[in-house]
C-alpha cells in the first residue's frame, strides 16, 4: 500500500469558506467555524463557517423574497446561466477534482470523472429549461378549454451527502434553476469545499443574488428543521441515508411539502451461469469499487451461480488484489481512503461478522495500520445470507459473494436468486449479467428496484431518470423527469368563445 501524503491543493485558496446569503459570502452570525479534514492524511484543509438556525432563517428568508422575480425570468436566460456554469466547471476540472479528492478521498481520476458527470447535469438542464411543456385539451362537452401549464414549486431545500460532493449538488441545483426555483442548499459537513466552489462558479455564471443560498453546518438537524418548519419552503430534495430521509418525510408532512428522496441502497449483483465472466468482473469492479465502494449504487450482495463461482472468484481476486491503494492525489492510486474513521470501523465490523458466520476472505479482510482511513480491497466468499452485511450498506471496498443455484449450469436458480435479491426493504438498483435475452428480461421485470443494469455495472447518467422504489426513495433525478420534481401543475378552465 502507498500512503504518501500530499500538500493541500492550491485550488483550496479559491474556496470561500463562508455562508452564501443573498449573493454575499458571510461568516456565521456566531463566528463559529469547523475544520474540514483530508481523510488520506488527517490534515486540516480549511475552517468553514458553522451556520446555525439563525443563519438558516436569513438564508431561507432571502430565497423566499427572491422567488417571484426569479420565476419571472425567461427560460432562455436561466438556460444560459446553466450553460455558462457547465463550461466553467469543465474549464476548471483539475481544480475542482483536486479539492474533491482532498476532502473526500476518491482518486483524482475518479474525481475528474465526477466533475464531467456533475457538469453534465447543468448542460442537460440548460437544454430542458427551454422545453417545459404543458397541455391543452377541451372538455367532453366541447364547452371549455383545459389549459395545463407548469410553474416553479417555489423555494427549495436541497440537502446532499458527502460521497459525490459535486454531482449530488448539480443534480438538484440544475433542475431547480431550470424550473425557476430559488434555493437554500446544505452540503454535507464532511465535504463542503467542492459545494462552495460550485456556488462560486454559479455566481460567476451570472446567477442573480439570493437565488442560491448556501449554509454549511455541523448541526444539520437544527438548520434543516428551521427550514422544514418555516412554512416558506415548498419543496425538499434530499440525497442521503434512509434514516434521515424518513425524518425529513415526517417533517415535510407538517406543511405538506413536495419531497424528492434519493436514499440508501442494497444492490444485488447477479452473475448467472451463462454470464460472460470477463464482462461480469469488469462490471463488478465498477459497481463495487466506484467511489471506494461508497456509493448508494454499490453492489452490496453479489450472487454468483455455483457453476461459475470458482472461475469468477479467481478473476475477481486477481483484479482486486492488484489495485493500488493510497492517497488519491498521487499518480496511479486506484483506491483512496474511506471518508472517516467511523466508516472503517463499520466495514471492519461487517467483515468480522461475515467471517464469524462462515465467510472466507480471499484477499484483504483486515484494516490497514498507519495514517488515513484505509481499508484494503476485500473479497469474501461463501457469505451467509444471515451475515449483517446483506442487510446493511457496506459502504466500503468489500465484495461479498453469495452462491446460488447448484453446480449444474442447466439449473438457472433464477426464482431463488430473485427472491433473495428482493428480500430487502431497499430498491434502488440491481445488476444482472447473462447472455440469455429471456433471462435478462425476466430479471429486468422481476427485480424490485428503480434501475437495472444488464451486463453493465454503471447506470448513472444525466439523461436517465435516477431513483429508487421501496425505502430507497421517492421521485427521480436527471433525465426528462428530473425537472418535473421542481414544477407544479396548474390547470386553467376557460369557456370556449364561439
240 touches ligand NAD (CB under 6 A): yes
Catalytic residues: 262, 296
**Number of residues in contact with ligand NAD under rule CB under 6 A:** 27
Sequence-ordered list of residues with C-beta below 8 angstroms from that of 402, at least 6 positions apart, any chain: 301, 302, 303, 304, 382, 383, 384, 385, 390, 420
Q: How many Cβ atoms sit within 10 Å of the Cβ of residue 221?
A: 11
- Contact between residue 399 and residue 378 where contact means Cβ atoms under 8 Å apart: yes
CA–CA separation, 43 and 301 (whole Å): 34
Kindly tell me which of 91 and 229 has the beta carbon lying closer to ligand NAD.
Answer: 229
The three cell numbers of residue 215 are 449554509
221 touches ligand NAD (CB under 6 A): yes
CA–CA separation, 347 and 343 (whole Å): 6
239 touches ligand NAD (CB under 6 A): yes
378 touches ligand NAD (CB under 6 A): no
Kindly tell me which of 241 and 314 has the beta carbon lying closer to ligand NAD.
Answer: 241
Among the listed residues 18, 161, 24, 170, the one whose alpha carbon sits nearest the alpha carbon of residue 89: 170
265 touches ligand NAD (CB under 6 A): yes
* Range in contact with ligand NAD (rule: CB under 6 A) among 127-135, 160-168, 310-318, 411-419: 160-168
Could you give the string, one character per residue 90-119, with x where binding to ligand NAD holds by CB under 6 A and - elsewhere?
------------------------------
Q: Which residues pair with 236 in a beta bridge?
A: 157, 259
393 touches ligand NAD (CB under 6 A): yes
224 touches ligand NAD (CB under 6 A): yes
Torsion of CA 363, 366, 372, 373, to 10 degrees: 100
Q: Which residue has its beta carbon closest to ligand NAD?
A: 240
Residue from 118, 165, 220, 268 that binds ligand NAD (CB under 6 A)?
220
CA–CA separation, 356 and 384 (whole Å): 10
* Three-class secondary structure assignment of 226-259: HHHHCCCCCEEEEECCHHHHHHHHHHHHCCCCEE
296 touches ligand NAD (CB under 6 A): yes
Q: What residues numbered 430-469 form the site for ligand NAD, per CB under 6 A?
A: 468
Residue from 121, 122, 125, 162 that binds ligand NAD (CB under 6 A)?
162
338 touches ligand NAD (CB under 6 A): no
188 touches ligand NAD (CB under 6 A): yes
Residue from 264, 268, 396, 453 that binds ligand NAD (CB under 6 A)?
264
* Range in contact with ligand NAD (rule: CB under 6 A) among 89-97, 130-138, 153-161, 480-488: 153-161
Minimum distance of ligand NAD from residue 199's CB (angstroms) = 15
161 touches ligand NAD (CB under 6 A): yes
Sequence-ordered list of residues with C-beta below 8 angstroms from that of 350, at least 6 positions apart, any chain: 387, 388, 389, 392, 394, 396, 398
Secondary structure tally for the chain: helices H, strands E: 13, 22
User: What is the H or E stretch that residue 268 is in?
Assistant: strand 267-271
Minimum distance of ligand NAD from residue 290's CB (angstroms) = 11
Summarize as ranges the residues that interact with ligand NAD (CB under 6 A).
159-164, 168, 186, 188-189, 220-221, 224, 239-241, 244, 247, 262-265, 296, 393, 428, 468, 473
Amino acid at each position: 500500500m502507498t500512503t504518501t501524503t500530499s500538500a493541500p491543493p492550491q485550488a483550496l485558496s479559491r474556496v470561500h469558506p463562508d455562508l452564501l446569503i443573498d449573493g454575499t459570502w458571510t461568516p456565521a452570525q456566531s463566528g463559529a467555524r469547523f475544520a474540514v479534514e483530508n481523510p488520506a492524511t488527517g490534515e486540516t484543509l480549511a475552517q468553514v463557517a458553522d451556520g446555525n438556525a439563525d443563519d438558516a432563517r436569513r438564508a431561507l428568508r432571502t430565497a423566499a423574497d427572491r422567488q417571484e422575480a426569479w420565476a419571472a425570468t425567461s427560460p432562455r436566460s436561466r438556460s444560459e446561466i446553466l450553460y455558462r456554469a457547465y463550461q466553467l466547471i469543465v474549464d476548471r476540472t483539475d481544480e475542482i477534482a483536486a479539492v474533491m479528492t482532498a476532502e473526500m478521498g476518491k482518486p483524482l481520476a475518479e474525481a475528474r470523472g465526477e466533475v464531467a458527470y456533475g457538469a453534465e447535469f447543468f448542460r442537460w438542464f440548460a437544454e430542458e429549461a427551454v422545453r417545459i411543456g404543458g397541455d391543452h385539451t377541451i372538455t367532453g362537452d366541447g364547452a371549455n378549454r383545459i389549459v395545463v401549464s407548469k410553474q416553479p414549486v417555489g423555494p427549495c431545500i436541497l440537502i446532499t451527502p458527502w460521497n459525490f460532493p459535486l454531482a449530488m449538488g448539480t443534480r438538484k441545483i440544475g433542475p431547480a434553476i431550470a424550473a425557476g426555483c430559488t434555493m437554500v442548499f446544505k452540503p454535507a459537513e464532511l465535504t463542503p469545499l467542492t459545494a462552495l466552489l460550485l456556488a462560486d462558479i454559479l455566481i460567476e455564471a451570472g446567477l442573480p443574488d439570493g437565488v442560491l443560498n448556501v449554509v454549511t453546518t455541523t448541526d444539520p438537524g437544527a438548520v434543516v428543521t428551521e427550514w422544514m418548519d418555516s412554512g416558506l419552503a415548498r419543496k425538499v430534495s434530499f440525497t442521503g441515508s434512509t434514516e434521515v430521509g424518513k425524518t425529513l418525510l415526517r417533517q415535510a408532512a407538517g406543511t405538506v411539502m413536495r419531497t424528492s428522496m434519493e436514499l440508501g441502497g442494497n444492490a444485488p449483483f447477479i452473475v448467472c451461469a451463462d454470464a460472460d465472466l470477463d464482462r461480469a468482473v469488469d462490471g463488478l469492479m465498477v459497481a463495487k469499487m466506484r467511489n471506494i465502494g461508497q456509493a448508494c449504487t454499490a453492489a452490496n450482495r453479489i450472487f454468483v451461480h455455483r457453476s461459475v463461482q470458482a472461475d469468477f472468484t479467481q478473476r475477481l481476486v486477481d483484479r482486486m488484489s492488484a489495485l493500488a491503494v493510497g492517497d488519491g492525489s498521487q499518480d496511479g492510486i486506484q483506491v483512496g481512503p474511506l471518508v472517516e474513521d467511523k466508516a472503517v470501523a463499520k466495514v471492519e465490523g461487517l467483515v468480522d461478522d461475515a467471517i464469524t458466520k462462515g465467510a472466507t476472505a480471499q484477499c484483504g479482510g483486515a484494516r490497514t495500520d498507519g495514517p488515513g482511513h484505509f481499508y484494503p480491497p476485500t473479497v469474501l466468499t461463501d457469505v451467509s445470507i444471515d451475515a449483517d452485511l446483506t442487510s446493511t450498506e457496506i459502504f466500503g471496498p468489500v465484495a461479498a459473494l453469495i452462491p446460488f443455484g447448484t453446480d449444474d449450469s442447466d439449473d438457472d436458480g433464477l426464482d431463488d436468486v430473485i427472491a433473495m435479491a428482493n428480500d430487502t426493504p431497499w430498491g434502488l438498483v440491481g445488476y444482472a449479467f447473462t447472455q440469455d435475452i429471456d433471462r435478462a428480461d425476466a430479471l429486468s421485470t422481476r427485480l424490485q428496484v428503480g434501475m437495472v443494469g444488464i451486463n453493465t455495472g454503471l447506470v448513472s447518467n444525466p439523461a436517465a431518470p435516477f431513483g429508487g422504489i421501496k425505502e430507497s426513495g421517492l421521485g427521480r433525478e436527471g433525465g426528462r423527469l428530473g425537472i418535473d420534481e421542481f414544477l407544479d401543475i396548474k390547470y386553467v378552465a376557460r369557456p370556449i368563445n364561439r
